[in-house]
């Protein structure tokens, strides 16, 4: 469900005073898809700035004709150099769990100094109410953006179908999907689905000071996920539901360190509480198409 103030949603962006669209985190998996989606929507390559840390990925993006900028969220000067007054900034959340809140603040401060026209931020589904273990950093970032005074759009992303790539490959060998999510549901979508919605917001007006809860059209259980695995792999896969404690011990026995094992089990605990089950339709509405069905999203992951 979207919450918004201002102009009607989905109006084409005016061409007057059009500045660059800066994608912070463009060298990540989601960021690259957003750049590709913008180009497919007819945004001139010269108006797109792909910013990120990976020189190799930046060089590949430059091959599409877009501008590139070296940007490290830990280095405010690198962010300053990538931004110009009037730009639209997409801040894709960092993956350094230990320091990303501070990293995000660096980017937001630079955006305020540059006087960007608006900032979009990829948050987490139902950030202000969810028990998801990842939420606190996103809540803090949303609050910091609000305090900056910049026009904002919060793109609260749900779960990626691609998050189950490792589980799919493991199931190919074992015939088992291990988890402690119980009967909880997940409304996942592919990164391409999210990229399509994000590109739509970047290229249309009416989104200032709005929040979108983005997730898949259908919320599925792990039993349904196992069935989807079976379809994709062409072999039977069953869901083995275990307690959180057994989940942790099994993951540790498989070679994961205790912190990572505990983190993954905690995420399944969030799923057990239906923290990722919210399906609002915002994602499909913004993308202009239904989200990718679970089986179709899993097929490319099977190799």
pLDDT tens-digit profile of 61-86? 999 999 999 999 999 999 999 999 99
The CA angle 84-88-93, to the nearest 5 degrees, is 105
pLDDT at 126: 97
CA distance 109 to 201: 22
CA distance 281 to 218: 9
> How far apart, in Å, are the Cα atoms of 147 and each of 96, 108, 140, 142, 240?
23, 10, 11, 9, 46
For residues 177 and 50, state if they share a domain. Answer: no
For 137-189, the pLDDT digits (tens) are 999 999 999 999 999 999 999 999 999 999 999 999 999 999 999 999 999 99
In-domain check, residue 67: yes
In-domain check, residue 4: no
For residues 85 and 36, state if they share a domain. Answer: yes
The CA angle 113-115-118, to the nearest 5 degrees, is 125
Reduced to 3 states, what is the DSSP secondary structure of residue 19? coil
Is the distance from CB of 89 to CB of 116 less than 8 angstroms? yes
pLDDT at 12: 46
For residues 210 and 221, state if they share a domain. Answer: no
In-domain check, residue 296: no
Q: What total number of domains does the chain contain?
A: 2
For residues 171 and 105, state if they share a domain. Answer: no
What CATH number is associated with residue 258? Answer: 3.90.25.10
For residues 48 and 126, state if they share a domain. Answer: yes
Q: pLDDT band at 303, cuts 50/70/90?
A: confident
What CATH number is associated with residue 32? Answer: 3.40.50.720
For residues 254 and 202, state if they share a domain. Answer: no
pLDDT at 17: 44
In-domain check, residue 124: yes
For the entire predicted model, the pTM comes to 0.92
pLDDT at 4: 53
First to last CA, the chain: 35
For residues 77 and 210, state if they share a domain. Answer: yes
pLDDT at 2: 64
Residue 117: CA count within 13 A, CB half-sphere: 15
> What's the domain range around 265?
162-185+217-278
In-domain check, residue 92: yes
Helices (H) and strands (E) in the chain, counts: 12, 11
Q: pLDDT band at 19, cuts 50/70/90?
A: confident
For residues 67 and 179, state if they share a domain. Answer: no
For residues 207 and 264, state if they share a domain. Answer: no
> How far apart, in Å, are the Cα atoms of 172 and each of 44, 238, 301?
43, 11, 12
For residues 32 and 178, state if they share a domain. Answer: no
Q: pLDDT band at 262, cuts 50/70/90?
A: very high
For residues 237 and 127, state if they share a domain. Answer: no
For 92-138, the pLDDT digits (tens) are 999 998 899 999 999 999 999 999 999 999 999 999 999 999 999 99
In-domain check, residue 284: no
In-domain check, residue 283: no
For residue 248, give the nearest of 237, 238, 235, 258 by alpha carbon.
Answer: 258
For residues 82 and 179, state if they share a domain. Answer: no
b/e per residue 107-140 (b: at least 16 CB within 10 A): bbebbbebebbbbbbbbbbbbeebebbbbebbbb
Q: Phi/psi of residue 119, each to 5°? A: -130, 130
Q: pLDDT band at 8, cuts 50/70/90?
A: very low
Q: Residue 297 above 70 pLDDT?
A: yes
* Percent of the residues in the chain that have a pLDDT greater than 70, as a whole number: 94
């Amino acid at each position: 469900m979207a919450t918004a103030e201002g102009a009607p949603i989905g109006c084409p962006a005016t061409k007057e005073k059009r500045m660059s669209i800066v994608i912070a985190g463009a060298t990540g998996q989601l960021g690259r898809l957003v750049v590709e989606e913008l180009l497919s929507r007819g945004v001139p390559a010269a108006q797109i700035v792909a910013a990120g840390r990976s020189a190799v990925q930046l060089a590949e993006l430059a091959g599409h004709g877009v501008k590139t900028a070296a940007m490290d969220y830990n280095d405010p000067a690198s962010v300053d150099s990538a931004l110009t007054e009037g730009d639209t900034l997409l801040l894709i959340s960092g993956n350094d769990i230990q320091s990303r809140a501070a990293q995000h603040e660096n980017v937001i401060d630079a955006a305020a100094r540059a006087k960007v026209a608006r900032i979009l931020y990829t948050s987490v589904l139902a950030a202000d109410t969810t028990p998801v273990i990842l939420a606190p950093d996103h809540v803090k970032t949303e609050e910091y953006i609000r305090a900056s005074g910049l026009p904002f759009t919060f793109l609260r992303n749900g779960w990626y179908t691609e998050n189950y790539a490792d589980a799919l490959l493991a199931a190919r060998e074992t015939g088992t999907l291990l988890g402690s999510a119980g009967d909880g549901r997940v409304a996942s979508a592919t990164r391409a689905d999210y990229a399509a919605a994000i590109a739509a917001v970047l290229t249309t007006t009416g989104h200032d000071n709005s929040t979108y809860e983005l997730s898949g059209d259908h919320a599925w259980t792990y039993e349904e996920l196992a069935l989807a695995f079976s379809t994709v792999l062409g072999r039977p896969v069953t869901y083995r539901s275990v307690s959180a404690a057994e989940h942790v011990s099994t993951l540790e026995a498989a070679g994961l360190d205790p912190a990572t094992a505990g983190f993954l089990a905690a995420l399944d605990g969030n799923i057990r509480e239906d923290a990722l089950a919210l399906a609002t339709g915002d994602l499909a509405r913004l993308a202009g198409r239904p989200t990718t069905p679970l089986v179709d999203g899993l097929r490319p992951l099977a190799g």
